[in-house]
Structure 1
């Protein structure tokens, strides 16, 4: 009998201690607070908006009694892509029970204007996560009004090839115009007119049709540009813009999928869409002379001539062309260096500001070229093949070809 009671007593004690231990363990887990995010400020004065060209201030206090496993801030455009995107991890807070997030994120001038989702996330070592989410607004900076000093602007985009061309050496050989070609025109022209201060695009303007470069290569899908300005009497007036106070800038914006884009196509950032080199000549009225090089000083780009190369296939975008006029304290150079072709100053007088639609409908040498060209132009593959045959009959180096050199 004593043995029975001893066994019963032992069983009771084990059950009691197990219950107490489990209860204590449960209580201990329950009393460990979850991570917290407090004292949040987004934008100076917590205004939750920022202007392009400035920096966005973000501050918050994060707490995790179970210690911090990860703390991060992410910022992403709610629609489409943008040059402004943040994924900042704060390694210095790992292992601590509390700390501060305090950052200033530069919002580039090329950032997309609109709504952005901001997330502040902290995860503790029990894998519990606290997230704070807020929508902010990125605003455009007020720009200096445009002062138009020309009556007509003609832009020629010329398909061609490289002879070792760079910003300082070699040259670009542009293909001649071929009137018989219906779709794959080697020379595509765009015209704008100044009508009482309002710039109007010609009804004959069509989207530029370009082919992107081959992956992992450069210099195999080139398009030259020549800009010519005229006054009301039809006189060529480029010389008044070929100065150390003028520079054309070229920006890709409003990026969308081309008709040939696959369903899972990821749109690129504006800065990834195309490359460009300035190839201005001195005097500006002459083409590049390969026998007697006459390139303008590379420290003084103007952009009346230059060479594009599309870097990404299957995208449509607007090519924004801006002629900036540097006056007063504004300098054409930044710390003695040339501004990039897409580095447009915000507070600058503009004498040209136009949009040219561009369709990069295929990748050069693609096996799907005929199919994609036909789909882009809304014609048959036989129509595209006919154009190709006409082009192949013309020797761009032959007599009477009238090529363009840059």
Structure 2
């Protein structure tokens, strides 16, 4: 009888030992699996500074510049941008604005994308403080967010002195060709000059290519005019890297008022 009990105990001990060894092996396997860190967001930019405020501002009826650098070792799955107001009073003719958009563009679904978008701010929303949040989700389901406050105001004073309309700017241009730009300007005090600045967004410069950054001041045909059509063709070098470029147009009148607007241009390789 004693022998049978000893044999049974030995068998139970052996089973327990096997189970414990299996558990430890599984734990070791789990420990060997690296855990990738959550995404990081740096240099989150939105709106611009203003003499009206110490913070960042946006103007009703214009575009809001947003940009951020992202690192996601598990690659980005989605980027969500939200903007909403803080208990703002809605006047007659105004509507509440609660913006949310999920970006899953192919250019963002990588490890180290630069987020860059321009968001149209409606002209009929309340002025005041808005909360802006950028949320990044990676392929492993981990999230990181960056947030801030944005003061949305009526159009800048300078826009009362200068205005533009009938914009026609190429969205895509083949390198080695010219970029067509055209818009109508109304400047009550006369145009002093127009500056055009074009630069790329973290583009890879390949073999035989050269970084392209264009900046030029235009006066001839525009200086002193109060109503004029800006119409220029800008040569894009055949060696410019392909990809997205950011174009800024600055109109300044004879009294120092300035009006600035932006556009995106895709430079493509010849087919």
> TM-score when scaled to structure 1?
0.31
Identify the structure with the greater strand proportion: 2
> TM-score when scaled to structure 2?
0.43
